[in-house]
Amino acid sequence: MDIDFYWDPGSTNTYFAWHLLKPIADLHDARIKPHCFNLGYVFRQNRYALTDEPLAKMRNRKRDLMRWAARYERPFRIPDQFPIKTSRILRAAVAMRAWNQEAAFIDAVMTQYWEQNDHSIAGDDALVAQAQQFSIPEDQFRTALTADETGQIVVNETQGGLDRGVFGAPTVVIEEEIYWGKDRMDFIARHLETGQAEQASPI
Note whether residue 112 is domain-resident.
yes
Note whether residue 202 is domain-resident.
no
pLDDT value of residue 202: 65
Note whether residue 182 is domain-resident.
yes
What is the model's pTM? 0.92
The three-class DSSP label of residue 174 is: strand
pLDDT tops 90 at residue 43: no
Q: How confident is the model at residue 44 (pLDDT cuts 50, 70, 90)?
A: confident
Q: Measured between alpha carbons, how far is 7 from 104 in angstroms, rounded to an integer?
A: 14
pLDDT in tens, 192-201: 999 999 887 6
- pLDDT cut 70: percent of the chain above it: 94
Q: Measured between alpha carbons, how far is 153 from 112 in angstroms, rounded to an integer?
A: 24
The HSE-up count of residue 66 (CA atoms within 13 Å, CB side) is 8
pLDDT in tens, 133-151: 999 999 999 999 999 999 9
Note whether residue 200 is domain-resident.
no
pLDDT tops 90 at residue 48: no
Residue 3 — φ and ψ, nearest 5°?
Answer: -115, 115
pLDDT tops 90 at residue 4: yes
Note whether residue 150 is domain-resident.
yes
Note whether residue 203 is domain-resident.
no
CATH code assigned at 11: 3.40.30.10
What sign for the dihedral angle of Cα 156, 160, 166, 171?
negative
Region 5-29 average pLDDT: 97
Domain carrying residue 135: 2-194
Number of domains in the chain: 1
Average pLDDT, the chain: 93
pLDDT in tens, 94-141: 999 999 999 999 999 999 999 999 999 999 999 999 999 999 999 999
The answer to whether the beta carbons of residues 68 and 182 sit under 8 Å apart is: yes
Note whether residue 201 is domain-resident.
no
pLDDT value of residue 58: 72
pLDDT value of residue 177: 96
- Cross-strand partners of 173: 4, 178
E strands, the chain, in order:
2-7, 31-36, 171-174, 177-180
pLDDT value of residue 51: 58
pLDDT value of residue 59: 77
Note whether residue 199 is domain-resident.
no
Kind of pairing, strands 177-180 and 171-174? antiparallel
- What is the four-CA torsion angle of 168, 127, 144, 7, rounded to 10 degrees? -10
The three-class DSSP label of residue 135 is: coil
Cα of 187 vs its chain's centroid, Å: 19
The answer to whether the beta carbons of residues 181 and 55 sit under 8 Å apart is: no
pLDDT tops 60 at residue 18: yes
